[in-house]
Structure 1
């Protein structure tokens, strides 16, 4: 599975052959290290149907899996995938006739499949889920409930400390406890399933109690569907983003679903009808786990094993630095910028200058910034020009929509709004409070956008020619109502200074200070030429020579 060097960019397919579903992720990996998901597909095949009693994959189940894999391979060929990485999990690894399935997949679907261990499955799930979260050094508990097994891990942003796979899954337990159940599930039956799970998890919950975890994150179709049911049934909303599943909500919806016969359960609010027969057993796993680990809620992630395969693939390529050396948030921003083919050099120049302006204002103590504003300013600056690949004339508007409509793993919705609006207001319009972009945002977010955009607008002006001729900037106070913007330039920068002049009025409105420009041109001889006054270089009152320290 060692990828070759990615030079011209390539399409890679990742296939996860699970116990309940087969999933496909098709990705274009670009020469600059960014990647674009081309399509995600999921088909329910019930590969583990009736398997876990005698450890034999049923002929019809294998046939279903092969048909879906053939379809996925056709799709991969249509996208001209150069490489296909396919893994099989619990149902396949536990089956005595797995060789037969692997041969069928090879001959009929032209697909080479690697059967992975439970621990490797847990590791890949951890990679996939954690790559979309902002954890830092805080440890999280990861739980993924599959059809045949449940994978548990503990990790922070960069490291996994614990990996475990339990032979507990929604199909496996349904086969064991509710094999032909079409009526309601009695409380006694449900408690019987939970008692079995409790016995099987005794050792692992002891091991897990040694770790101090900040939160629990659940992934898989079972957990996603339970979170959706809780929202739709209890909160009467069809909201598409189900970010959490609370223990009390879980208990309530499970009792309501157990009371119904299978056909009625298929119509339960929010339920995936294909999952109705196995969701009770799946719910028993997560409910028991939440009780044993004393979890009041679990965060829900839509990422999983196939995203883990992608992260693992990139970490073995020349772009491994994007995984190993960047935070989730930085990686999200760079991914979006690279995908939009942004002018990386200009973006970095503007970002550097913006942060110098921010740090200088902060050091002078003339404005008290909120925690986290510097980081959001950095990201807004990095992405300010990404709309140009669609159209230069209205590129700020395109940037705004591109940022808002990107998922940007690791960011909260309000943070995405601030970043998007910084990109929108980096030129032309200034952020007036009634502007439709910000009219619905809270006061703090609007204040951040207005103040931070004043700095970004100046920094953008300072690289107006995209030549990176401004090497350093800072503010200093000259009187109770005036600041000097000291600009270190490698050569004459008349265009930049003219552009800065246009921003002085808005700067005063935000910070309460008049702004004067002072340009220091760094000459080859090491002596800077100091130009002072307003922005019109020809009209500067005097030229002062001074030694450079």
Structure 2
């Protein structure tokens, strides 16, 4: 079955057109990513900004033309964190429907966790589980534990855009801003640990743009290379060092990094802090339980999960 999956998050809008057979094997035909920053100011205002809606609609029109070239049998437009509680989401719904002919599906944190887990663990051997998947988005971060199925999941109200707007909305954050951001992350992690048994994980899988961008830096890539990033193993020390470096850079230095998407320049430092704090907490819990943790980065994520789920 040929499907077109749209993933509209707080920061990015992505498209995947793929053929999926009855066994769940997927052949990717087209994959696109644009930074639209739909969640601009949502944490403070509770509604979508007009310019954010127009950016999102413009990219959706572009994607509609791309998708039509492949004649998909099914289409699904999934919207996540930023779209759940806004006052003017009917305007968003109407705009997307006018372009695509489908109403955006605003999914819960639980379904977001399920789809992220499905995409991140596709094709992985159960012998390397249990898996803890971290989907680090612009508005929220999901932690999902399981092997074949999801055993536990939690959605934390922290993401690269949301944390930047709350605590780090300056070119180079000072010590007080960084401490405030870290306290926010740790508070959410404390609550998350009451829901998800972090110590049960054996393989930590990090997904989404913040994670893959930091990994490109860890690998020392001279451009963003999806095939090199997918499946890369990293250490806690490497993630922490990369996050620290990004926090200390000014905007020009971050923008000059050869693998950095321009739309991530302003929010990558906050995202890096989240990645570093989460992976350190999980590694600490696993070691305290007498086990070792493998940390893997995946380029397959909720977008792939949407496509697989749509074809099932």
Q: TM-score, normalised by structure 2?
A: 0.89
Q: In structure 1, which of residues 197, 200, 209 is the aligned counterpart of residue 188 of structure 2?
A: 200
Partner of 2:295: 298
- Work out the CA distance in 1 between the residues paired with 2:311 and 2:106: 20
- Work out the CA distance in 2 between the residues paired with 1:137 and 1:252: 27
Once the two structures are TM-superposed, the CA of residue 126 in structure 1 deviates from its matched residue by 0.5
Once the two structures are TM-superposed, the CA of residue 124 in structure 1 deviates from its matched residue by 0.5
On the 8 A contact 1:232/1:270 being kept in 2, the answer is no
Once the two structures are TM-superposed, the CA of residue 223 in structure 1 deviates from its matched residue by 0.3
Q: Render the CA deviation track for 1:355-414: whole Å, top value 9, x for unaligned.
A: xxxxxxxxxxxxxxxxxxxxxxxxxxxxxxxxxxxxxxxxxxxxxxxxxxxxxxxxxxxx
Once the two structures are TM-superposed, the CA of residue 291 in structure 1 deviates from its matched residue by 2.7
Q: Please give the residue correspondences for 1:123-522 in structure 2 after superposition, counting only pairs within 5 Å.
A: 123-136=114-127, 138-156=129-147, 158-179=148-169, 181-182=170-171, 184-209=172-197, 212-232=200-220, 240-242=227-229, 243-268=232-257, 270-294=259-283, 298-315=295-312
Structure possessing the higher relative contact order (Cα contacts under 8 Å, 6 or more residues apart): 2
On the 8 A contact 2:143/2:196 being kept in 1, the answer is no
Q: In structure 1, which of residues 97, 109, 119 is the aligned counterpart of residue 110 of structure 2?
A: 119
Distance 1:57-1:33 versus aligned 2 partners, 3 A rule: closer
- Work out the CA distance in 1 between the residues paired with 2:145 and 2:65: 37
Distance 1:34-1:210 versus aligned 2 partners, 3 A rule: closer
Distance 1:83-1:238 versus aligned 2 partners, 3 A rule: closer
Once the two structures are TM-superposed, the CA of residue 109 in structure 1 deviates from its matched residue by 4.0
Once the two structures are TM-superposed, the CA of residue 28 in structure 1 deviates from its matched residue by 2.8
- Work out the CA distance in 2 between the residues paired with 1:11 and 1:208: 35
On the 8 A contact 2:243/2:276 being kept in 1, the answer is no
Q: CA RMSD in A?
A: 2.3
Once the two structures are TM-superposed, the CA of residue 122 in structure 1 deviates from its matched residue by 0.5
Once the two structures are TM-superposed, the CA of residue 268 in structure 1 deviates from its matched residue by 3.1
Once the two structures are TM-superposed, the CA of residue 100 in structure 1 deviates from its matched residue by 1.2
Partner of 1:93: 84
Partner of 2:51: 60
Q: TM-score, normalised by structure 1?
A: 0.52
- Work out the CA distance in 1 between the residues paired with 2:40 and 2:24: 40
On the 8 A contact 2:40/2:48 being kept in 1, the answer is yes
Q: In structure 1, which of residues 59, 69, 72 is the aligned counterpart of residue 63 of structure 2?
A: 72
- Work out the CA distance in 2 between the residues paired with 1:31 and 1:65: 33
- Work out the CA distance in 2 between the residues paired with 1:192 and 1:309: 35
Partner of 2:36: 45
- Work out the CA distance in 2 between the residues paired with 1:16 and 1:155: 23
Once the two structures are TM-superposed, the CA of residue 94 in structure 1 deviates from its matched residue by 2.6
Partner of 1:520: none
Partner of 1:503: none
How many pairs align?
301
Once the two structures are TM-superposed, the CA of residue 83 in structure 1 deviates from its matched residue by 2.0
Once the two structures are TM-superposed, the CA of residue 108 in structure 1 deviates from its matched residue by 3.8
Distance 1:262-1:32 versus aligned 2 partners, 3 A rule: closer
Partner of 1:386: none
Once the two structures are TM-superposed, the CA of residue 150 in structure 1 deviates from its matched residue by 0.3
Specify the SS of the correspondent of 1:128: helix
- Work out the CA distance in 2 between the residues paired with 1:314 and 1:136: 26
On the 8 A contact 2:10/2:137 being kept in 1, the answer is yes
Partner of 1:475: none
Distance 1:232-1:187 versus aligned 2 partners, 3 A rule: farther
On the 8 A contact 2:5/2:303 being kept in 1, the answer is yes
Distance 1:210-1:28 versus aligned 2 partners, 3 A rule: closer
Q: Please give the residue correspondences for 1:6-25 in structure 2 after superposition, counting only pairs within 5 Å.
A: 10-25=1-16
